[in-house]
Amino acid sequence: MFNNRKIVFALLGRTPIRPMACFNLRRVPFGRLNKKIQTQENIVKVVNHSTRRTIISLAAIAAFALTAFGQRSSGPTMVYGPERPNLPVAGNTNMYCAGYIQYGPVSTGNRIIGASGEADGYNFTQNGDVYINMGSNKGVNVGDTFSVVRPRGHVESRWTSKDVGFYVQEVGALQVIKVKSNHAIARIKTSCESFLLGDLVQPTENRVSPIAVPRPALDLYGDPSGKAMGRILMSRGGAETLSTNSVVYVDLGADASVSVGDHMTVFRPLGKGNPLQIPLKETVSERDEGYQSETYRGGKFSNQGSRKSGDHANGKMVTTYDAKSGRPALRKIVGEAVVLNVKERSATILITRNAQEIHTGDWVELQ
């Protein structure tokens, strides 16, 4: 067993008191010896009391340390909330204001014929009231909602020889607030653009956005899928330099078995698509000389000149065009998109990610 007094004095940095044998009884008188003995007994009592308190304190510290260690080893308690549902790729703005290219005829019978504020202007926006030539005679009821579209013209693009149809701009949505026999008053609930008299009123399509799901990393050097390929013809708003969340139109539709939610790879031939003007030839020709000094004549060759053809470098200069000739069809992947709406010969797609700027004229391929 450990000597408790030695532990206490070791903690206090003192030398423990030796037992009574440390005194020389032959040289100490009895009276003084008795006093020393009493003093020694008092010291031992104090030491024993201090030892008990110290042991109790050490035991409490050890118990606290074990408890804390046990809590740390078990780890914190994690409380999880309800699982969040997957979010849609596109919001209502991109779903119902994207526009589309339609090949078949559009119904022109129903249209906006007036507006409560037409005396003050020609453009009408959200929460404004307009008149439509649809009443109880056409089965219209209070609370009915309609889409408003504006056909803009036939799509002609240098990027395709395919007749895809005409572009239809989606203007917004109306809700009927009062019905007459041959007309109705409707309030503009959503405005993608300013409403104009003569805009066409159409039944509202129920569109569902694709759900955003985890996608593999964009493979910039992925192989072709072998599926249908097309071109980006134009974009909403006429932008030509595109990026993530841009809405664009491609010449692939139901005729190419395209469906809402399909993913497309956006790419272009390697070496194409630079928006800046590039040099028409190499910076330095191999025929150029004069790079050496007149005194030391270190060598006439430029470090930026191209190589000479032939096993002994005695042929013609190898140009960039020569170097590219005969190579396989290489492509540069620049982004990815998802299909929002499909028509007969075209589709409306949303760019979901891009590795660099995307342009009208870039290629798309079904994944």
- The band of 150, judged by pLDDT with boundaries at 50, 70 and 90, is very high
Give the span between the Cα atoms of 55 and 205, in whole angstroms: 82
Phi/psi for 342 (5° steps) reads: -125, 130
Determine the residue type at 45: K
- Looking at residue 233, the DSSP 8-state letter turns out to be E
The class (CATH top level) of 229-281+319-366 is mainly beta
Residue-wise pLDDT for 295-333, tens only, equals 776 677 777 777 888 888 888 888 888 888 888 989 999
How many of the other CB atoms lie within 10 Å of CB of 354? 19
Segment 149-161 mean pLDDT? 93
Q: Which stretch of DSSP H or E encloses residue 245?
A: none
Mean pLDDT of the 350-359 span: 94
Per DSSP, helices labelled H in the chain are 4-12, 30-74, 92-96, 320-324
CA neighbor of 282 nearest in space, from 303, 311, 298: 303
Which residues are paired to 103 by β-bridges? none
**pLDDT band at residue 71 using 50, 70 and 90 as cut-offs:** low
Q: Computed from CA positions of residues 360, 190, 91, 103, in that sequence, does the dihedral angle turn out positive or negative?
A: negative
Per the CB < 8 A criterion, the answer to whether 219 and 333 are in contact is yes
> How far is it, in rounded angstroms, from Cα 119 to Cα 76?
68
Tell me, what's the pLDDT at 44?
46
Mean pLDDT of the chain: 82
Domain range list for the chain: 4-74, 92-203, 229-281+319-366, 287-316
- How far, rounded to the nearest angstrom, does the alpha carbon of residue 153 sit from its chain's CA centroid? 34
Question: For residue 82, what pLDDT is reported?
Answer: 65
**pLDDT > 70 fraction of the chain, expressed in percent and rounded:** 71
* pLDDT bucket at 3, cuts 50 / 70 / 90: low
Q: With 80 as the cut, is the pLDDT of residue 14 above it?
A: no
Digit-coded pLDDT (tens) for 265-304: 999 999 888 766 666 666 666 666 666 777 776 677 777 7
Under a CB-based contact definition with an 8 Å cutoff, are residues 175 and 147 in contact? no
Q: What is the pLDDT of residue 254?
A: 96
Q: Burial of 66 by CB count in 10 Å (0-12 exposed, 13-18 middle, 19+ buried)?
A: exposed
**What pLDDT is stored for residue 159 in this prediction?**
92
Nearest to 352 by CA among 330, 336, 364, 339: 336
Specify the pTM. Answer: 0.72
Residue 160 CB neighbours (<10 A): 19
Could you report the per-residue pLDDT of 15-31, keeping only the tens digit for each?
Answer: 554 544 444 444 545 45
With contact defined as beta carbons under 8 Å apart, do 210 and 88 qualify? yes
The overall longest dimension of the chain from CA atoms, in Å, is 137
Q: Which element (helix H / strand E) includes 364?
A: strand 363-366
Distance of CA 239 to the CA centre of its chain: 21
Q: How far apart are CA 342 and CA 250, in angstroms?
A: 10
pLDDT at residue 161 above 80?
yes
pLDDT score of 41: 55
